[in-house]
């Protein structure tokens, strides 16, 4: 069996999201959070920053360079929870991700997708994303 076929069998396919998917996710996030009072929006680096900038414009809220009580904390994906967990106890804050690989418990998600597919967001370099996936799967 050729090497590429074996890799395909062991690694799930990648799911490439478009800028249109991004726009729809931002609109859904805005509807989810639009009626709440927030002190601003903090995006978890790296993918959360892109969402935070778009939501800051959409909701006319300040973009925060540090999280603060009562803010909206956003991230691109919830996989293990490692990047979102430090903000769990931030008083009065809402934690929201575009895609969650687990059913939300103490955070909210625009989409829940438990599939093992690696997600490539529109702002990501596809080759770099493939390297990130390989590294992640080796570590987990």
Domain spans of the chain? 16-134
Give the residue ranges of the chain where pLDDT is below 50: 1-9
Residue 6: per-residue pLDDT: 40
Spell out the CATH class of 16-134. Answer: alpha beta
- In this prediction, residue 1 carries a pLDDT of 41
Cα separation, 115 vs 118, in Å, equals: 9
Task: Determine the pLDDT at residue 131.
Answer: 77
Whole-number pLDDT of residue 11? 64
pLDDT value at residue 8: 43
Q: What is the pLDDT of residue 138?
A: 81
What are the angstrom distances between the C-alpha of 54 and each of 51, 58, 63, 116, 126? 5, 6, 10, 27, 22
Position 66 scores a pLDDT of 95
pLDDT of 48-79, one tens digit each? 999 999 999 999 999 999 999 999 999 999 99
């Amino acid at each position: 069996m050729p090497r590429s076929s074996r890799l395909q069998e062991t690694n799930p396919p990648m799911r490439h999201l478009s800028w249109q998917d991004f726009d729809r996710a931002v609109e859904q996030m805005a509807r989810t959070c639009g009626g709440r009072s927030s002190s601003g929006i903090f995006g978890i680096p790296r993918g959360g920053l892109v969402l935070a900038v778009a939501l800051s414009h959409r909701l006319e809220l300040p973009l925060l360079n540090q999280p603060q009580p009562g803010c909206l904390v956003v991230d691109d994906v919830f996989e293990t929870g490692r990047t979102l967990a430090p903000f769990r106890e931030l008083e009065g804050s809402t934690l929201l991700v575009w895609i969650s690989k687990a059913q939300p418990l103490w955070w909210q998600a625009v989409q829940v997708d438990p599939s093992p597919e690696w997600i490539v967001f529109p702002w990501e370099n596809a080759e770099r994303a493939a390297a990130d996936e390989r590294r992640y799967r080796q570590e987990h």
